[in-house]
Amino acid sequence: MNGGDAATSQGSGPPPPLEWRFSQVFGERTAGEEVQEVDIISAIEFNKSGDHLATGDRGGRVVLFERTDAKDHGGSRRDLERADYAVKHPEFRYKTEFQSHEPEFDYLKSLEIEEKINKIRWCQPANGALFLLSTNDKTIKFWKVQEKKIKKVCDMNVDPSKAVGNGCLTSSSSPSQSVANGLYADGTHNYLSNDFSFPPGGFPSLHLPVTSQEASIVARCRRVYTHAHDYHINSISNSSDGETFISADDLRVNLWNLGISNQSFNIVDVKPANMEDLTEVITSAEFHPIHCNVLAYSSSKGSIRLIDLRQSALCDTHSKLFEEPEAPGSRSFFTEIIASISDIKFSKDGRYILSRDYMTLKLWDINMDSGPVATYQVHEHLRPKLCDLYENDSIFDKFECCLSGDGSRVATGSYSNLFRVFGVAPGITEATTLEASKNPMRRQVQTPSRPSRSLSSITRVVRRGSESPGSDGNGNSFDFTTKLLHLAWHPTENSVACAAANSLYMYYA
């Protein structure tokens, strides 16, 4: 999305669509295996370098993966032997896991607090250690994960034929010789006392443990940030200053200092004096990736507000409001429900905001608040089925979205474990549907879109697929019980990690 990138792409012609391939899967289910509720993945996040990946699940666990392939090497030898792995791709391995949250009970409100991890955010690493924030509905925790070298006894220089009992030795040739307290006693010298001086000529055999240093990964909870939210926490986001972060619930956004866990500062409060006057709630909040004084939050009415912490300590007034005018005559019972924004993300340079509502992805230029610069239809074929989706509560599903590191593509999930990738940079017109499986192209559909206008153009671009109602582009019926809610794009490469129930799938292009 940078001007230089756009000029390059325009000068050399539109790049070909990305060809996505399966890379890895963790936690793969066998045929007919029933998935436990606690194992379903509820959060995914790459760290800033892309060398580590964290997932959280409904059981309150955080699982960490680390990259293993060398930067200048195209994957493992086994992969390179296969022709379809000729393209370099990142490869990860399981690193460690820890229990981040436990189920709790709020006795004052008679309310059960789930252990489910809602969000994970990486913090700046230091001294070889990894730091991350994880949150459930009420409590945020700050974790430090590092390798500790622990000395362990791996061997004893003991003759096994002479070892007895608890490790003391006895001589088979002389019953009068025995060992007590680890010292020998013989007829000439008595060393059963606390005198640890060596006998003349030394011991016949000095038995010592042989130790080795083993690296063990240890996760420690450094701080717990609690008692600051009356409603469920839906977002946490780090500031670019490396010292502060925000947490958001339905009605408030709080600002924290990483080093202070017993107090926070309320910077946004949309709670009306009378709760009957409540018309919208906060659904997601995100810090600007570069400017630590700027953040954005979205609402259930489909609007995004940009606020500047330099303007006022309590940011009840926004500096910019992004919302799309409602088309006349289009209002229905479901209009407000499907307009609710479930997730927002800044582009890496902070120029654009990507938002996901129930039916679409929208790309906003923060310098233009008249409307989105582009709109991408994710599953428009479901519009005739909104009644059914409302009856089974699927219409309230909260899908996440993500941008590629260079800002040229965006992605989000759908039902039947499908996710969609759209080209957004000038000259990139792809709209690809992939399935979370070992064969992602099984239901892959290339939907050519008319050429995109420049992102700075006021004319809005709408991408529509060719799917028929109730099915995907290949005529496959949709399964509303399987949904791909969580996914993340590698910060520097065309690689996507996404969660299908308890399985973590990774793809590259």
Burial of 199 (0-12, 13-18, 19+ CB in 10 A): middle
- The answer to whether position 295 is within a domain reads no
pLDDT given for residue 457 in this prediction:
34
94 is written with which tokens? 């399981």
52 alpha carbon, distance to own chain's centre: 10
Q: Which of 143, 149, 150 is nearest to 129 (CA)?
A: 143
pLDDT given for residue 175 in this prediction:
42
Domain containing 466: what range?
1-32+353-394+401-509
**Mapping DSSP to helix (H, G, I), strand (E, B) and coil, where does residue 446 land?**
strand
- The answer to whether position 3 is within a domain reads yes
- The answer to whether position 472 is within a domain reads yes
- The answer to whether position 230 is within a domain reads no
pLDDT given for residue 169 in this prediction:
43
- The answer to whether position 372 is within a domain reads yes
Alpha helices (runs of H) in 12-108, residue ranges in sequence order: 77-80
- The answer to whether position 261 is within a domain reads no
- The answer to whether position 364 is within a domain reads yes
pLDDT along the chain (509 residues), means of 10: 43 72 89 86 95 96 90 45 53 95 87 94 90 96 90 64 47 42 47 54 62 81 94 96 96 96 94 92 97 96 94 85 83 90 96 96 94 93 93 94 94 95 84 88 50 34 41 58 94 94 94
pLDDT given for residue 206 in this prediction:
58
Cα torsion at 140, 145, 151, 153 (round to 10°)? 80
pLDDT given for residue 94 in this prediction:
95
The total number of structural domains that make up the chain: 1
pTM score of the predicted model: 0.78
- The answer to whether position 85 is within a domain reads no
What CA–CA distance (Å, rounded) separates 164 from 168?
A: 6
